Amino acid sequence: MKSHSRISLVVAASLTVLGGASAPALADNASAASVPTSGAEWFRAGRSAVEANKLVNRELNTRRAKNVILFVGDGMGVSTVTAARILDGQQRGVDGEWNRLSFENFSDLALSVTASANQQTSDSAPTATAMVAGIKTNDGAISVDQSITRGEFCAEVTRAKKVKTIMERAEARGMSTGVVSTARITHATPAVNYAHISNRDWEADSSIDRDLGATVLPSGCTKVKDIAAQLVDFSVGNGLEVALGGGRPYFEPNTKADPEYPTRMGRRTDGRDLTAEWAAKPRAAYVWNKAQFDAVDPRRTKRLLGLFEPSHVKYEADRANDTAGEPSVADMTRKAIEMLQNNPKGFYLMVEGGRIDHAHHAGNAYRALTDTIALAEAVKVAREMTDDKDTLIIVTADHSHTMSIAGYPSRGNPILGKTDAGLDLLAKDSLGLPYTTLGYLNGPAGWTGNGSRREFDPVTEFVTAEIPFSGERPDLTDVDTTNPNYLQESAIPTAGAETHAGEEVAIYANGPRSYLVRGTLEQNAIYHVMANALGL
C-alpha cells in the first residue's frame, strides 16, 4: 500500500475517537466479525462512516495526475455490483451484505447517464466512445461523431468525422498507453481507444468486404481500415505499448492455422499477419498462452501484444480449464502496469471486464458475478501498484443489464439461491412455486409456450438444451439454482440474447481530481474528468 494507507489510518483514528464498531466505508473488505449485532452497534457504525468521510474530504486531491487507469465493467450495473458483492462475501465465508468490492471503497462516487445520441438504451460502442472521447455518438460508432452513417466505408469521410481519444492525447504528450480486455481486443469497448470506424463489427478486413459486397467505391474514396489493422498501425506518438485480450484470427491471414485450435484459420483476406508485424517492432513481443505471457520481462519489453483466444478469453469460472492457459484480468493488469510504469511521463490504461456483459446476455448470473469479482481483484492490484497522489483510477460501466434482485430473502440467503421465507421455508409465487432472488426482465431463459427452456453450455458457450416442464412455470424445489450453468428465469422470453438496460450506472473514482466525480453526470463527462486530471 502506498499513500492510500492514509485513508485507512483516518478511518482507524475516527473509530478510536468514537469507540464504536468498525465502518465498512473505506476498509479493503468488511469482515464477518465487524458486522454490527445490535441497534447501538449499527448506530455507531453509521456515525463512524460519516465521521471518517468528513476527515478524508478535508484534504481534496487537487494535484494533476501522472497516470490514469479506467476500468470498465461491461454491463456492470448497480444490481450486478450488489449481487457480486454478496456472492464474493458468501464465497469467502463472511457476511455478503456487509462485504465491499475493492472499488466500492473509493473516495468519490457519481451516477452516469448511459443514453447514446440516438438510443435510450445503448450498446457498448457509443457508451465507451463517450468515456474516452468526451462526446455522445450513435450506436455502433467507434470514436466518430454522430453525423456519420453506420456502414460508411470511405476512409476520407471517417477521418473527417473522427474524434480524438484520451489515448491519442496521452500518446501525443509522450505518455505510455495500453488496453486490456477479457473480450476480443478488437471489440467495441477496447477499440474506441485506438480506432475510428462507423461500424463496430468491422474487426477484420474480411468483415468490411462482406458488407461491402459488390459495391463500387466512389471516386476519391478508399476503403476504411478494419479495427485490428488500426490497432497495429496506431501511430500517434510512438504507438500504444500494451494490448492484451482475445481475438487472434482478426490479426492473422486466412491461410494460417490457429496455434491453439489448429482447425481454425485466420480471418484476414489481405494477406497481412498483424501478429508478425507487431513482433517485428523494436523490443516487441507477441504471446498467445500463459507460459509465454509469464516469461515476458516488463523491464526489457517495450511493446506487448497478447491474444489468448480466437474470440473472447474464457470466463473466470472456466479459465483454469483452458489447455494453453490464460492470465486472469488481474494478471494482465499487473503486467500492463509493470510495463507502462517504465515511462517517467506517465501512462493511460483501460482495463475492461468484457465478459460480465456476455454472461448477462446468456442469462447466466453466476458467470456475470464471478467475472465482476475478478475485475474487482484487478482494481485492487492496480491500486496496490500505484500511488493515490499521482494516479487517478476510475471504475464504471458502459451500460446496465436487466438483472434484478427481488423477493424478500433473509440476510445471508444464497444470492444465487431460491428466495426464502424464513424458518427454512421457500417463498412462493401465485402458483405456489418457488423462485430465485435473481432474475432477468428478458432473455433466453424465459419459459416459452411450447413448454421448454434453454440452458447454458460452458463448453460451447451457447444456450442450448431444451428441457420440458409442465405448468406455467417450472417447479424449482429440487433444482440447484446455484449451479454455475443455471440460467435465471426471464419474464419475457427472447429468441436470442437478453438485452442491455437503460438506467444509470455508477462511477467510482479515487486519486487526483476524483472529487470531480459527483452527482449525476452524462457519461461523456468521464473523459473530461480524466483530461482535467492529466491537464490535457
Active site (catalytic) residues: 124
The DSSP bridge pattern shows strands 400-401 and 500-501 to be antiparallel
Which cell goes with 361? 446476455
DSSP string, 411-439: TTS-TTSBPB-STT-B-B-TTS-B-BSEE
Pairing type for strands 176-184 and 242-246 reads: parallel
Question: Which of 286, 329, 292 lies closest to 304 in space, CA to CA?
Answer: 286
- Apex CA 341: angle with CA 337 and CA 342, to 5°? 130
Which contiguous run of DSSP H or E holds residue 340?
helix 329-340
Strand pairing report for 438-443 and 490-493:
parallel
- In this structure, the strands spanning 438-443 and 403-405 are antiparallel
- Given a contact cutoff of 8 angstroms between Cβ atoms, the answer to whether 504 and 386 are in contact is no
Give the span between the Cα atoms of 106 and 314, in whole angstroms.
28
Rounded alpha-carbon distances, angstroms, from residue 41 to 8, 30, 34, 52:
20, 15, 10, 16
Quote the CA–CA distance of 388 and 3 in Å, as a whole number.
6
**Amino acid at site 27:** A
Q: 187 is written with which cell numbers? A: 471489440
What lies within 8 Å, CB to CB, of 254 at 6+ separation is: 206, 265, 266, 267, 268, 269
C-alpha cell, 403: 438483472
294/299 Cα distance (integer angstroms): 13
Rounded Cα distance between 177 and 181, Å, is 14
Phi, psi angle pair for 162, to nearest 5°: -70, 155
- Whether 357 and 493 have beta carbons less than 8 Å apart is answered as no
Give the three-class secondary structure for 41: helix
